[in-house]
Amino acid sequence: MNNFAKTFYARAAVFLILACSASLAGAAVRLPGFFTDNMVLQRDMPVPVWGWGNPGETVTVEFDGQRAIATVDEFGSWMTKLKPLKASATGRVLSVNHIQLKNVLVGEVWICSGTENMNFPVRKCINSREELKNADYPLIRLAAIDRVQSPLPENDANARWEPCTNTSVANFSATGYFFARKLHGELGVPIGVIGASWGGTGINPWIPGEGYRDTPSLKWAVDQIYNGRPSTETGKKKWENYLEALAEWLPKARQAVANGQTPTDRPEIPTELWITNIVPTKTFNGMINPLIPYAIRGVTWDHADNPRRPEELYQKQKALIESWRKLWQQDFSFYFAQIPNSGPRDDQPEGGDKTAQLREQQQKGLAIANTGIAATIDIGVEDKRAAQNRQDVGARLALLALAKDYGRSDLVHSGPQFRELEIRGRDARAWFDHTGGGLMTGAKDGLQPAGQVEAELKGFAICGADRAWHWADVKIGPEAKSVILSSAQVETPVAVRYGYRGNPAGINLYNREGLPALPFRTDNF
């Protein structure tokens, strides 16, 4: 081929590329991977719509008679906002240049996040066959975010919004589904649930870097976040040292195997270099950061944390909640499910195991504004492989939302919570908030509501100055807002405990609305 021909074809190729680029300019616009058909937009607040495209490109967003314009910036990003929308069960088209998202509803949107408890699917619940048979709710929409971990914040995530059917809900978060079902039944509007959960992760990877940096007691995690990156000098050196140790070990291991011997243990990888889903920030980076700033009403959280550092759980919860709100620039509601009773039954009056400490730390989270806790101390299982009651977990979380977000002041939304202790002679009197129609001795059978029973109150322990714990004799106060405790072995009470064990046997204090009392202790020893 001569030079003229080469020049001609080169110019022709350039012309074709430019022509295609010009004709497809509108096609360069891209939306986040979880913007799909069947999605739900949050009602009654501005609705951000964002994505990517060619710098300088004009983006036109149209929905429900609204038109919003944006221009792609120099970095290839754009964002605009729709004005607040009214709830609508009529599927409409969300148009973004050439993109047409169909069957889009407007209603209430919640993120349901956490670890194995939130990740537990509908198909493994008790009564799952019946639940799936009746799971036909076209106005409930489900979006399960793909599981991704990342050392750095990602800007995109994939999920496909689907109407709730027996097929789409089978592997979806049971807590999330039953929460949505309760809300939909009470509010009568479309409900969108974004499921972002991962079993076995604990809370650490869900906290962004900002949360750790802003919490002095969690500074230990900063090394894991930043010092394991090969892009830093510290991280590069750590990786080099580990790889050198591994290279030194490998030929020795091969020789041992050749000689019919078991190799010595390989060099242990430093914690900050772990590529796992338990390392701080990694799950947030991959699964939550891409959702910001999608318009939501709030977050429900359900987890069972690693008990190695129970004293840190409150600070971790605080870091998680406050950092999510800060990054979203929205003070949304955040409701968490209590760590349920699980494992072997404990019938010792003093209690105080690691799970009890975790639960206590978790309840301290109620000091954070705009939060709530759903009591689950009566519906756990000894064997986590067994079918579980997630129906009540979701419904109790929904009670919090209905009362606090949707103006249902008529609803009792919490089980009894300890308020103060009063000592009179040999008696200790514990007063409670959220007593509803009054305290009762209750019993719960499967999915049936808890009912009043004629039985002794169990699970209360009492001690004197010697700090020796004894089971207490207990009766409900005449006003049904307190319980009165005593013991023949305790002349002058100092402190009381209730259900302060991982799986407390026989505890049975409820309010008349069927919600169990939250475990507590009044001592600090």
Q: What is the pLDDT of residue 374?
A: 97
CA distance 476 to 96: 62
Residue 450 shares a structural domain with residue 332: no
Residues 348 and 284 in one domain: yes
Assigned domain for 328 exists: yes
pTM, full prediction: 0.87
Number of separate domains in the chain: 3
Amino acid at 134: N
Residue by residue, DSSP assigns 403-466 as HHTS--TTS--S--EEEEEEEETTEEEEEEE--TT-EEEEE--TTSPPEE-S----SEEEE-TT
**Which segments in the chain show pLDDT lower than 50?**
1-26
The per-residue pLDDT for 510 is 98
Containing domain of residue 450, as a range? Answer: 417-521
Alpha helices for 137-274 (secondary structure H): 174-187, 209-213, 220-226, 233-258
Nearest alpha carbon to residue 195 among 117, 138, 124, 130: 117
CATH for 344: 3.40.50.1110
Rounded CA gap, 324 and 366, in Å?
17
CA dist 105 to 68, 181, 189, Å?
18, 16, 9
Residue range 119-164, pLDDT digits in tens? 999 999 999 999 999 999 999 999 999 999 988 899 999 999 999 9
15: helix, coil or strand? helix
> Among 81, 22, 24, 25, which Cα is nearest to 57's?
25
Q: Let me know whether 233 and 151 are in one domain.
A: no
**Claim to verify: residue 427 and residue 488 sit in the same structural domain:** yes
State the average pLDDT for the chain: 91
Q: Tell me which residue of 181, 470, 140, 518 sits closest to 360, measured CA to CA.
A: 518
Is 64 a domain residue? no
* Distance in angstroms (rounded) separating the CA atoms of residues 334 and 401: 9
Q: Tell me whether residue 90 is in a domain.
A: no
- Amino acid, single-letter form, for residue 330: Q
- State the pLDDT at residue 381: 82
The pLDDT assigned to 63 comes to 98
Rounded to the nearest 10 degrees, how much is the dihedral formed by the CA atoms of 318, 321, 324, 326? -70
For tokens 């106005």, name the residue: 139
Q: What is the pLDDT of residue 223?
A: 67
User: 242 and 211, same structural domain?
Assistant: no
Q: Is residue 318 part of a domain?
A: yes
Report helix, strand or coil for 62.
Answer: strand
Q: Would residue 241 count as lying in a domain?
A: yes
For residue 428, give both structure tokens.
């200790």
Looking at the domain assignment, is residue 37 inside a domain?
A: no
Residues forming a β-bridge with 481: none
List helix spans (H) across 348-410: 354-364, 391-404
pLDDT of residue 506: 86
Contacts of 75 by beta carbon, 8 Å cutoff, 6+ apart: 55
441 with 504, same domain? yes
Predicted pLDDT at 26: 46
Same domain, 205 and 354: yes
Domain presence at residue 376? yes
Is residue 89 a part of any domain in this protein? no
Which one, of 198, 130, 140, lies nearest residue 165 by Cα?
140
283 with 139, same domain: the answer is yes
Q: What integer pLDDT is reported at residue 349 of this predicted model?
A: 94
Which of helix, strand or coil describes residue 495?
A: strand
- Of the residues 381, 404, 427, which one is the last residue of a structural domain? 404
Alpha helix positions (H), 100-200: 116-119, 128-133, 174-187
Q: What is residue 238's predicted lDDT score, i.e. its pLDDT?
A: 80
* 304 and 208 in a common domain: yes
Verify that 130 and 164 share a domain, yes or no. Answer: yes
Q: Specify whether 321 is located in the same domain as 199.
A: yes
Would you state the pLDDT for residue 275? 54
> How many helices (H) and strands (E) would you count in the chain?
11, 24
Q: Which residues fall within 8 angstroms of residue 5, CB to CB, at 6 or more apart?
A: none
Q: Please tell me whether residues 143 and 247 are part of one structural domain.
A: no
Helices assigned H by DSSP within 214-353: 220-226, 233-258, 282-283, 313-328
